[in-house]
Amino acid sequence: MIKNKLAAALILGVVFQVNPLFAQQKNIDKIDRKVDSVLRLMTLEEKIGQLNQYTGDRDATGPITTSPNKLKDIKDGKLGSMLNIRGAKETREVQEMAMQSRMKIPLIFGLDVIHGYRVTFPIPLAEAASWDLAELENAARVAGRESAASGIHWTFAPMVDIGRDPRWGRVMEGAGEDTYLGSKIAYARVKGFQGKGLGNLDAIMACVKHFAAYGAAIAGRDYAAVDMSDHSLWEYYLPPFKAALDAGAATFMNSFNTLNGIPATGNTYLQRDILKGKWGFKGFMVSDWGSIGEMVPHGYAKDKKQAAELAIKAGSDMDMESRSYLPNLGQLVKENKVSIALIDDAVRRVLRKKFELGLFDDPYRFSNATRQEKELNSAENKKASLKMAEKSIVLLKNNNQTLPLSKSLKKIAVIGPLAKSEKDMQGFWSVSWQNDKLVSLYEGLQNKIGNQTELLYAKGCEISDTSKAGFAAAIEVAKQADVVVMAVGEAYDMSGEAKSKANIQIPGVQEDLIKAIQATGKPVVVLIMAGRPLVFNWTADNVNAIMYTWWLGSEAGNAIANVLYGDYNPAGKLPMTFPRDEGQIPIYYNYLSTGRPSQNDKDTRYRSAYLDIQNSPKYTFGYGLSYTTFDYSNLKLSKTAMAMNDKINISFTLKNTGKFDGEEVVQVYLQDMFASVVRPVKELKDFQKVMLKAGESKAINFVIDKEKLSFFNQKLQWAAEPGDFKLMIGTASDNIKLESNFALTN
């Protein structure tokens, strides 16, 4: 008998060694068995409780709809999760209430850790400008570690909505306009948040949002309707969600918008056919705040009871703060309008994550004050934020070599309403800056050169009022200085949720202040701090040095100072197009040619062009300068025709031809010259961020394969079609350095 057991153990041992997938599957089966064992013991009301989520009393991001007796509901097992509760102590207290319920099922604590928890990182759109996937993953890793150390199990990030409309304030939260870059960043962020996997004490669940196409809200107005072809949905808006799922994302969140007339939260096509069906998603879908109940004002449900029925049938597993599920699902089951099987499936999905997080073993395992003390605001975490911030800065203009500044300068005037601001450096969706230092620009300059250069200061004006009373003092300060550094832009809450703007000029009279300071004749550097692309044509055309510094988080001032003085050579590239005028929006680089393409900005006769402004944007996707220069040469293709399952090796030489060591983001664009669905004039298909010392050359290699040539055809099949392709390699989408052509044959 013992021999048999030994033999069996050996065989299992070998099998586990040979096939980790086998081991993984065994673990999944084990958890499923545990889930079923819990489910069997639960009443219908307790099951429905797991699908109900309330907010804690702090940081509500929407109207509080929960009943005053939410704590009683927790003790009665009527809650599966709570958001906006944080801290080892606070989460432990709330978890202890859940442990008083009959089933003692632990709560999941969620929070919008969008760009950092205690150490604030640059806003996601700024991070996207780094094109540095390793750094992006690390930023999410730090946020995950700090959150997990504070009792948080789950972040409502990454937001992966493609954003082509800067009137929509939530572009600050995503990765910009491009599907390829957005997909790579979505993947990196999920990997960062989830680390080595759920169950690790420094890993938190990611939540991919907002499913789907929320960024295409009509007229850039938040929460507005989205109407698009299935082709556009599949080609441009869904791939970042699929990439996040491929990275192992534990949860998804649906979106407020209707998609082609159906609210996302009641959209079976999105949530069941695509996500849980075709893509095989095994995690759970949480609604956005109140979105289930909002199907009533959408005009899709006559009341919250019908909304609950539509949502659970469409695949919304958890109800965030609309209180539609708790009072109605039980009755719907009794009336045979909703099958218990649907409830059980949703509850299984939620319980499975609680097992994977280890919460059934120890509901308090993340609520550990000692770990919290050690992890938060650590030097390592602040250093990561500084590095990410440096990489996020985009140098837009540097005429007459105004930058980098010399450390021998005697007097610098720091002018503008954002020059000394700390709180605006946090940006929107910052969850834990309140009691932390955010380094302002002024402080960053003090830290860097305060003991060798005299810093003068004038606010000049407010961010958004119209008074010019401060101009005179600012002009006087400017006149005393060798160089003027100006900090203008948006307040931290001028981009973000429910922050749509029809006019995206720099607010108030800030650009008038720039004009007044420019008129002094002093060298001027303008730093624009904002959560979205802004329109600033006069500044762009008249000021010699301009940097887009977004909202850079805890280390903002230190990062900007390092870049101003060349201790970090800027390498950021815009992840979104900057329009000349709001009238051009939506404007993006991968547009379709049309039958009458405008050959240049003057060609308006019977061409697809405007009579009153140029077609081209102010700054295009992928644009960003460096203190050094790069030369692209010697493009070679291993072949100029490839069969379907073949590939083409591409190589070229990149040389740093300037005086500074620096990084270059080399971008590979393709154009499919003709296809069964019209293809964009160019599409980003690959990129590399390359560090080269001054004078250094390096061979850069890429591979073109069928995957890079594929698209969703008229039948929405992902496929490549034989034909001619143009290869473009450049330093920006409108600055192509090397071109060639190749063919794809049958």
Q: Reply yes or no on whether 36 is catalytic.
A: no
Residue 318 or residue 418: which is nearer to ligand GLC going by CB?
318
Phi and psi at residue 723, in whole multiples of 5°? Answer: 155, -170
Residue for token digits 């709330």? 94
Beta carbon of residue 111, minimum distance to ligand GLC (angstroms, whole number): 8
Residue for token digits 């069996």? 8
Token code pair at residue 626:
């460096």
Beta carbon of residue 157, minimum distance to ligand GLC (angstroms, whole number): 8
C-beta separation of 582 from 470 below 8 A: no
Beta carbon of residue 173, minimum distance to ligand GLC (angstroms, whole number): 8
439 three-state secondary structure: coil
Beta carbon of residue 209, minimum distance to ligand GLC (angstroms, whole number): 6
Q: What residues between 282 and 301 interact with ligand GLC by CB under 6 A?
A: 288-289
Beta carbon of residue 292, minimum distance to ligand GLC (angstroms, whole number): 13
Q: What residues between 207 and 226 interact with ligand GLC by CB under 6 A?
A: 209
DSSP sequence for 123-174: PHHHHHTT--HHHHHHHHHHHHHHHHTTT--EE---B------TTSGGGGGS
> Which H or E run contains 442?
helix 441-449
Among 46, 112, 319, 663, binds ligand GLC (CB under 6 A): 112
- Strand pairing partners for 320? 53
Beta carbon of residue 423, minimum distance to ligand GLC (angstroms, whole number): 20
Q: What residues between 77 and 96 interact with ligand GLC by CB under 6 A?
A: 83
Total residues interacting with ligand GLC, rule: CB under 6 A:
9
Beta carbon of residue 258, minimum distance to ligand GLC (angstroms, whole number): 15
Residue 61 or residue 402: which is nearer to ligand GLC going by CB?
61
Beta carbon of residue 322, minimum distance to ligand GLC (angstroms, whole number): 11
Residue 151 or residue 557: which is nearer to ligand GLC going by CB?
151
Residue 53 or residue 554: which is nearer to ligand GLC going by CB?
53
Compose the 124-163 pattern: x for residues touching ligand GLC by CB under 6 A, - for all others. --------------------------------x-------
Residue 153 or residue 679: which is nearer to ligand GLC going by CB?
153
Burial of 610 (0-12, 13-18, 19+ CB in 10 A): middle
- What's the DSSP call for residue 663? E
CA–CA dist 594, 611 (Å, integer): 17
Token code pair at residue 286:
């949480």
Residue 169 or residue 533: which is nearer to ligand GLC going by CB?
169
* 24 Cβ contact list (under 8 Å, min separation 6): none
* 472 Cβ contact list (under 8 Å, min separation 6): none
- Strand pairing partners for 647? 705
- Strand pairing partners for 712? 718
Residue 165 or residue 683: which is nearer to ligand GLC going by CB?
165
User: What is the identity of the amino acid at 213?
Assistant: A
Q: Is 168 in the site for ligand GLC (CB under 6 A)?
A: no
Residue 156 or residue 269: which is nearer to ligand GLC going by CB?
156
Residue 159 or residue 727: which is nearer to ligand GLC going by CB?
159
CA–CA dist 523, 409 (Å, integer): 12
Phi and psi at residue 448, in whole multiples of 5°? Answer: -85, -50
Beta carbon of residue 296, minimum distance to ligand GLC (angstroms, whole number): 17
CA–CA dist 625, 470 (Å, integer): 33
Residue 139 or residue 286: which is nearer to ligand GLC going by CB?
286
Q: What residues between 409 and 428 interact with ligand GLC by CB under 6 A?
A: none
Compose the 175-214 pattern: x for residues touching ligand GLC by CB under 6 A, - for all others. ----------------------------------x-----
Token code pair at residue 206:
């990611």
Burial of 337 (0-12, 13-18, 19+ CB in 10 A): middle
User: What is the identity of the amino acid at 706?
Assistant: K
Give the CA angle between residues 69, 75, 76 to the nearest 5°: 85
Q: Is 497 in the site for ligand GLC (CB under 6 A)?
A: yes
Give 361's Cβ-side CA count (13 Å radius).
Answer: 12
CA–CA dist 590, 178 (Å, integer): 8
Beta carbon of residue 498, minimum distance to ligand GLC (angstroms, whole number): 8
Q: How far apart are the first and last CA of the chain?
A: 61
Neighbouring C-beta atoms of residue 72, cutoff 10 Å: 11
Write down the catalytic residue from 73, 165, 288, 672.
288
CA–CA dist 236, 238 (Å, integer): 6
Distances (CA, A) of 396 to 330, 578, 619, 691, 693: 58, 11, 8, 20, 22
729 three-state secondary structure: strand
Residue 57 or residue 380: which is nearer to ligand GLC going by CB?
57
Beta carbon of residue 445, minimum distance to ligand GLC (angstroms, whole number): 35
Beta carbon of residue 293, minimum distance to ligand GLC (angstroms, whole number): 13
Q: What residues between 55 and 74 interact with ligand GLC by CB under 6 A?
A: 61-62
Is the bond preceding 586 in cis, omega lying within 30 degrees of 0? yes
Radius of gyration of the chain from its Cα atoms, rounded to whole angstroms: 27
Beta carbon of residue 84, minimum distance to ligand GLC (angstroms, whole number): 7
Residue for token digits 């709560």? 107
Token code pair at residue 621:
């996707």
Token code pair at residue 663:
């990084």
Residue 208 or residue 513: which is nearer to ligand GLC going by CB?
208
Neighbouring C-beta atoms of residue 636, cutoff 10 Å: 13
Burial of 406 (0-12, 13-18, 19+ CB in 10 A): exposed
Residue showing the smallest CB distance to ligand GLC in the complex: 156
Residue for token digits 């938060």? 376
695: left (phi over 0), alpha (psi -120 to 50) or beta: left
Residue 222 or residue 705: which is nearer to ligand GLC going by CB?
222
Is the bond preceding 210 in cis, omega lying within 30 degrees of 0? yes
Catalytic residues, which ones? 288
Interface with ligand GLC by CB under 6 A: which residues? 61-62, 83, 112, 156, 209, 288-289, 497
